[in-house]
Every structure is written in C-alpha cells, then in structure tokens.
Amino acid sequence: MSDIDKEFERIILETEKYITEKLFTIGEMCVSYAKSNHTYLDDTGNLTASIGYGVYRNGGRIGGSVFGGPDEGATAGAKALDELAKDVKEEWVLIVVAGMYYGIYVEALGYDVISGSKLIAEREAERMMKDLRKQKYKIKVI
C-alpha cells in the first residue's frame, strides 16, 4: 500500500470513527432528554422504558440502547427498534423510538414523548455535518 493510500485510509477511518461516536452521542442525548423531560404521567413506567435508540451502519446494528425498566416497555422498545431497522439501507442511520403502541396518542394529546428528542437529533446531526465539511485534511506526499 502506497503512502497516499495509507493516508486516505487513515482519513476514512478517522471520519468513520467520528460519525460513529457522534451518532452514539446524539442517541444518548435524545434518550436522556426524552426520559428526563417528558411531560406525561407514566403510571406504569412502560412508555418511558420503551424509549431507546440504535445506530446502524450499512443495514446492521452497531450498538445503541439497552432497554431496561418494566418488561413490557423494554420489550416494546426493542421490538419497535428491530421493526424500524428492517428497512434500513443507508450507510449511517440513527433510530430513536418510543416503542409502546400508545406513545403516538400521548404525543397527539400535546405531551412530549420523543418529539423534543427529534429536534435535538436534527440539530445535532446538522452540526455533525457542518463539522465534517470543515475538516481540513493535510495529505503529505513523500
């Protein structure tokens, strides 16, 4: 492998590492926000337990939330994530879910289940893209 090929490989690996770490950070931010700032009353804990995220690369999950809490909520969150991930084909994807079937109805009543987290994800993804566009790579040819 030539020096220039090695340098390109280093740049690619560095960029992939940055994207991966950033998507995990955004996922954690979204889940943390949703779980600590929800505006609904969660009597059973199931809705909150069903909130989580997954990071996918080329269709495969590379990590994300470990769902915990009431079994029904945790199971629903993991199932919702798996269901949404079936159609993932893009190179990089972050999916954030509230897996309980009634989460959408709670949102429709005006409560924040994960809508606030969606705004965070959009904002942070835009920042990530701006940061990537600003990257200055120095390629040294010897």
Q: Which residue matches tokens 């470990």?
A: 66
Query: Which amino acid does the sequence have at 88?
Result: V
Q: For residue 99, is it within any domain?
A: yes
Q: What is the domain count for the chain?
A: 1
Residue 55 DSSP one-character state: E
- Residue 32 is predicted with a pLDDT of 97
- 89 lies in which domain range? 3-134
CA distance 53 to 105: 20
Q: For residue 139, is it within any domain?
A: no
pLDDT by residue (tens digit) across 54-99? 999 998 999 999 888 888 999 999 999 999 999 888 889 999 999 9
- Residue 7 is predicted with a pLDDT of 84
Count the Cβ atoms, other than its own, within 10 Å of residue 43. Answer: 7
- In sequence order, what E strands does the chain have? 51-57, 60-64, 92-98
Tokens standing for residue 44: 């059973």
Q: For residue 141, is it within any domain?
A: no
Q: For residue 26, is it within any domain?
A: yes
Q: For residue 142, is it within any domain?
A: no
Q: For residue 31, is it within any domain?
A: yes
pLDDT by residue (tens digit) across 28-39? 999 999 999 988
